Structure 1
């Protein structure tokens, strides 16, 4: 994650969403992948090319259950999404407006040492974190999506021995929702993790398994769930390119 452009360069399809999605309790047992795909694709329209970023979105249940174009534009108006894109188009940019709505976003902050990763910037701050602000006084049966363009990195984001890991924040946050009301999504595998042993990467990913973790590829490919209860811990469909 040290070099934003280098994380993208090896050509792994994008999307680490860093997202969380909520649907009505018990409807599917987990999030419907087709609904998740529609929401992620809409968010990605307002993303930025060749740079890592993360986005968190809260939606009402009716928009999670039926993420049509019209519903998404109602829930996440284009002018708001344009403002988000403008903010994260700037180096070290963050979208955390004073008048909070239902979406926040960030790029890594390279001015800090060590670098503040995009995921961490949205999750840090306890009750004043950008993510907590979009959830404040909102119905917890609503939909929460955390989207990170690249998979959360093994050495920092998922390393519980590092102060700025996201595991200690993400797990309590997701545990407030039913499994069919949450999702952490990524599109591309962070290039430095792509060359690590599969067991190392999967072991780190499983620290946020309860999210649950999804990979949503760019283009027409479907969103897939990275872990299932009957699946060996040494394998995951999300490792495939």
Structure 2
């Protein structure tokens, strides 16, 4: 082999990775993730859902309706269409929650799905489906808020629960997804502080999926991180 020349196998691997693009590295392929999210999404009020799928459908979601049937989605939509709605069935592949208003403040939808240790809706979902072999996607319409969900010492923070939930699932088969930036955070937080808050979510790739597709939010530079674009 000539100095400075790569072997053919290395060149082939590099070309393959270039062709596949960064969207395949470290999380569910973004095109597939976008397809799955669009199949489930319905509402534009703040709500969250977690879906546990066979990894087959995250690799190729063309047959997704066989795993996640329309009648299951219709039951979910009916439950979430009510104020403070919670969808936490004893069977099936998905759980969901709206915000639950309280006399003072509210239980945010993300917290409602993750709280409760082994009895949380998401842990029960994993237990009845694929456990650590799941393809687990957690979606929330608005980005988790800085002052409640991502406040490390706050009573309703989700940081440890997210980390524990996703710890044992392969990085290629998990995602924490939001569609919009929460408007209060957009108005009150500097871009860098917003990124720093998001990056406290451990053991799961954070992505933003909207009409323009899905984008990886892991970059540290607020000038180049495409998740910070305003819709």
When the two structures are superposed, what TM-score results if normalisation uses the length of structure 2? 0.84
**What does residue range 20-31 of structure 1 map to in structure 2 within 5 Å?**
28-31=25-28
> Which of the numbers 136, 139, 156 marks the counterpart of 1:164?
156
1:86 and 1:139 map into 2 onto residues whose CA distance is 27
1:222 aligns with: 213
1:37 and 1:60 map into 2 onto residues whose CA distance is 17
Higher relative contact order (CA 8 A, sep 6+): 1
1:37 and 1:172 map into 2 onto residues whose CA distance is 25
Determine if the alignment matches structure 1 residue 66 to structure 2 residue 60: yes
1:8 aligns with: none
Greater share of helix residues, 1 or 2? Answer: 2
2:192·2:221 contact (CA, 8 Å) conserved in 1? Answer: no
> Which of the numbers 107, 124, 140 marks the counterpart of 1:148?
140
1:202·1:234 contact (CA, 8 Å) conserved in 2? Answer: no
Post-superposition shift, 1:136? 0.5
When the two structures are superposed, what TM-score results if normalisation uses the length of structure 1? 0.80
In 2 relative to 1, CA 123–139 (structure 1 residues): closer, same or farther, beyond 3 Å? closer
Write out per-residue CA displacement over residues 180-227 of structure 1, whole angstroms, 9 at most, x where no aligned residue: 121100000000001221121111000015411000013xx1201011
1:23 aligns with: none
In 2 relative to 1, CA 123–112 (structure 1 residues): closer, same or farther, beyond 3 Å? farther
- How many pairs were matched up? 205
List alignment gaps of at least 5 residues for structure 1: 1-26
User: What secondary structure sits across from 1:135 in the alignment?
Assistant: helix
Post-superposition shift, 1:48? 1.8
1:237 aligns with: 226
In 2 relative to 1, CA 106–39 (structure 1 residues): closer, same or farther, beyond 3 Å? same
1:179 and 1:146 map into 2 onto residues whose CA distance is 13
Consecutive aligned runs of 4 or more in structure 1 exceeding 2 Å deviation? 27-30, 111-114, 231-235
1:94 and 1:151 map into 2 onto residues whose CA distance is 19
1:112 and 1:72 map into 2 onto residues whose CA distance is 40
**What does residue range 114-193 of structure 1 map to in structure 2 within 5 Å?**
114-136=105-127, 138-193=130-185
RMSD across aligned positions (CA): 1.6
1:213 and 1:48 map into 2 onto residues whose CA distance is 21
1:102 aligns with: 93
User: What secondary structure sits across from 1:62 in the alignment?
Assistant: helix
1:162 and 1:199 map into 2 onto residues whose CA distance is 21
